[in-house]
A and B are shown apart, each in its own frame.
Chain A
Amino acid sequence: MRRITEVFGGRRNLLFSGLLLALLFILLLDLFFVHHIFSPFVYFYLCFALVIVFYGIYPLYVSRRLTRYYWDRTKRHHLAVIGLVFIIFLVAVAIFGPFLTQDPTKVDFPNKNLPPVGFSAEQSTYDRTTGQFITRETPGTWLHPLGTDDKGRDMLAMLVSGTRISLQVGLMATLIAIFIGLIMGVVSAYLGGWADNALMRFTDIMMTFPFFLLLVFIVFIFGPSLWFIILAIGLTGWTGTARLVRSESLSLRTRDFIMASKSLGASDRRIVFHHLIPNVLSSVIVIATLSIPGVILAEAALSFIGLGDPTVTSWGLVLQAGQRSLETAWWIAVEPGIMLFLTVLAFNFLGDGVRDAFDPRSQV
């Protein structure tokens, strides 16, 4: 067993680069010869999955003892475990849900404003034969277990589609932000001098913008598409990580083991990749988990005010429809909000647990 991991471990970067190149090759093939086998998102997911397998699951598997240690520490937080279970459930819904539910964009006016199962609502409908509006009590049906919205779209399907969007945005934008923040932080701590000064002043400038106002401004200029929103959140949300990574790297640089490594003749590249980054990674994981809810909320808020991608059904969009028909159909506003709330709560619980496991010094 050990031998396999050693052999594999030595070639890990090589194998990873190879697979990444293969993926890129297929993407190019897709773009220029065979048009659109998969959507661009699929490539991103495959790439994401590769990163997770090679630099997430594999190291966890190799150092099983450490994994068990972290898991035991996280497990002590019951709420964190509940949060994790809920997130796994959400991921499953996001991946498989859209295949099982109805089309979230299918408009069906005769069945509009149906309440969820177990509730009933008064509704006025237009009667063609008499030419009058009649009010009657409509009960919820199992065909639309969570009811329908003001255009007759199935709420369950819309919520499932929203789960996919929210997780996509939350994970990808956080990944981009963390990546930029990590590079900014390590580079500025390692180079020092005027480069450090310039990068940190730029960070200060970005931090001066109120996050949401800047986001609105960028989306206003560049137009609302899901990709762009993800990119915009990623490109604006890295400042906290950059500062954290910089300060951690600065304190690490003066530690004995890095001094020792340097005096043994290790190159800058080796010190950065083998000592600095692995050591700041635990704080980065914590800050990543804790920043996902903020990202999800930012996207929901953007689509709630009508600056989201109008072609995808996200929770914010449903919520916006819900506010319009608050007086006739309360469930349209209540349901996506509950999903949003529970998702944010789950990530916050998990983040708290992860922080205690990885970084026992920090309180709050």
Chain B
Amino acid sequence: MKQGGLQNYIIRRLFYAFLIAFGVVTVTFILLRVGPSSPADKYLANISSRTQDPAKVIEAVEARYGLDRPLYQQYFNYLVSLARGDWGWSFSTSLPVIELIKRHWIYSFQLILLSMLFASSLGILIGIYSAVKQYTKTDYAATFFSFIGISIPNFWLGIMLILVFSVQLGWFKTYYDTGLPLFSLANLKALILPVITLGTGMMAGYTRYSRSATLDNLRKDFVKTARAKGLPEYIVIGKHVFRNAILPIITIIMFDLAGVVFGGAYLTEIIFGIPGLGRISFNAIFANDYPVVITITLIGAMVVLLTNLATDIVYTWLDPRIRYD
């Protein structure tokens, strides 16, 4: 493949990602304006108890946030302020939203990162093992448990883990202790139950996918060749099968971010009281603190967008067979 082709491909992908980001922002803007209660109402819900004349407050709020201007101007202002990093003011916490995000993102990040590590490493290993031992008891057990893992609602699993390990056995605290330093063993211990809660469903999914991807590759001719050459089995599996099977699995892991991981992390944070982005969005919803809710929705979409972009680009390096023209 020509080097220029790859560069063009990456530039095209970047441009495309930019377009999608634009679309995402537009969709949130439209949803906000279509909704039955205007942003001014939500502001009002927070301050009306302290003031006398609601009509005047609405006017003031609309003027303050530019809501009395024509819609296209509002849209333009929305885009500009988002681009400038001015994401609004969170009244329930009396902080700029960006400051709130800065303080809390690390909790979500550590939870998601650890869960994905746990799920992908264990899931891929079990999947490959059960494919190699196809039609044995181990294989059936793995398939059965992955089915259960996929079907178990993760928020219920979290509650059951709390019930058994925290309430009955008393091994863990029922709530995540926010006072712990981030990089410490105690913090790692506190994250065990949340990581299992979030990771089990993903792990079960990866087990199934890597099992079937491995099975597909085990039947290929190059595996027969490798075996015929007399290579030891661990090299046949570890080098020839694994490297081909891992590609679709990486796509699925990245794709999971959009559907599974964020939703799961949101619920896990709520159940265990981890002060991550899901938890603050949850608090913001009940405080009618809408700049926080929008920002976190947008952040979720942007993370998905960037990981998709990264996956596409990393693919060019992982799989030299793909052509980009």
Contact = CB atoms under 8 A, between A and B. Distances in A.
Partners in one complex: yes
Interface in A284-334: 293, 297-298, 300-301, 304-307, 319, 322-323, 326-327, 330, 333-334
B153 A345 contact: no
B267 A210 contact: no
Which secondary structure dominates chain A's binding surface?
Answer: helix
B153 A217 contact: no
Contacts of A208: 20, 23-24, 258, 301, 304-305, 308
A217 B31 contact: yes
A209 B24 contact: yes
Contacts of A211: 258-259, 263
A271 interface: no
Interface string A190-228: 000000000001101111111111101110111100000
B23 A216 contact: no
Nearest to B282: A305
A9 interface: no
Given A210-B262, A348-B147, A221 B286 contact: no
Given A205-B20, A205-B23, A220 B304 contact: no
A211 B297 CA distance: 10
Interface stretch (A33-41, A118-126, A128-136, A336-344): A336-344
A333 B161 CA distance: 12
Interface of B: 19-20, 23-24, 27-28, 31-32, 35-37, 147-148, 150-153, 155-156, 159-160, 162-163, 167, 174, 208-209, 212, 215-216, 257-259, 261-263, 266-267, 270-271, 281-282, 285-286, 290, 293-294, 296-297, 300-301, 304-305, 308
Nearest to B263: A212
Given A201-B19, A204-B23, A208-B304, 9 more contacts: A202-B23, A210-B263, A212-B262, A221-B37, A300-B155, A304-B267, A305-B282, A333-B159, A340-B153
Given A210-B259, A211-B258, A201 B159 contact: no
A217 B28 contact: yes
Given A211-B258, A364-B209, A301 B20 contact: no
Nearest to B288: A220
Which secondary structure dominates chain B's binding surface?
Answer: helix
A216 to B, nearest CB: 7
A213 B259 CA distance: 9
Interface of A: 201-202, 204-214, 216-218, 220-223, 293, 297-298, 300-301, 304-307, 319, 322-323, 326-327, 330, 333-334, 337, 340-341, 344-345, 348-349, 363-364
A341 B153 contact: yes
Contacts of A214: 297
Nearest to B208: A364
A216 B163 CA distance: 27
Given A210-B258, A220-B285, A305 B267 contact: yes
A205 B24 contact: yes
Contact of A306 (B167, B262, B286): B286
B285 A307 contact: yes
Contacts of A307: 285
Contacts of B162: 323, 326
B159 A344 contact: no
Nearest to A327: B167
A202 B212 CA distance: 32
11 contacts: A206-B27, A208-B258, A208-B305, A210-B258, A211-B259, A212-B262, A221-B35, A304-B267, A306-B286, A326-B162, A348-B151
Nearest to B32: A221
Q: Which of A202, A213, A349 has the most C-beta atoms of chain B within 10 angstroms of its own C-beta?
A: A213
A84 B263 CA distance: 28
B159 A319 contact: yes
A20 B280 CA distance: 47
4 shortest A-B CB distances, which residue pairs?
A: A212-B263, A210-B262, A337-B156, A221-B35
A184 to B, nearest CB: 16
A216 B290 CA distance: 12
Contact of B159 (A205, A300, A337): A337
Nearest to A336: B156
B212 A305 contact: no
A181 to B, nearest CB: 15
A333 B304 contact: no
Contacts of A297: 153
B155 A301 contact: yes
B280 to A, nearest CB: 13
Contacts of A222: 35-36
Nearest to B216: A363
A363 B308 CA distance: 24
B207 to A, nearest CB: 11
B156 A341 contact: yes
A218 B31 contact: yes
Contacts of B31: 217-218, 221
Contacts of A327: 167
A213 B24 contact: no
A210 B290 CA distance: 18
Nearest to B293: A220
Contact of A223 (B36, B150, B282, B297): B36
Given A208-B258, A211-B258, A345-B147, A300 B286 contact: no
Contacts of A349: 147
Contacts of A322: 159
Contact of A326 (B159, B215, B267): B159
Nearest to B150: A348
Contacts of B257: 210
A216 B285 contact: yes
Contacts of B36: 221-223
Contacts of B270: 305
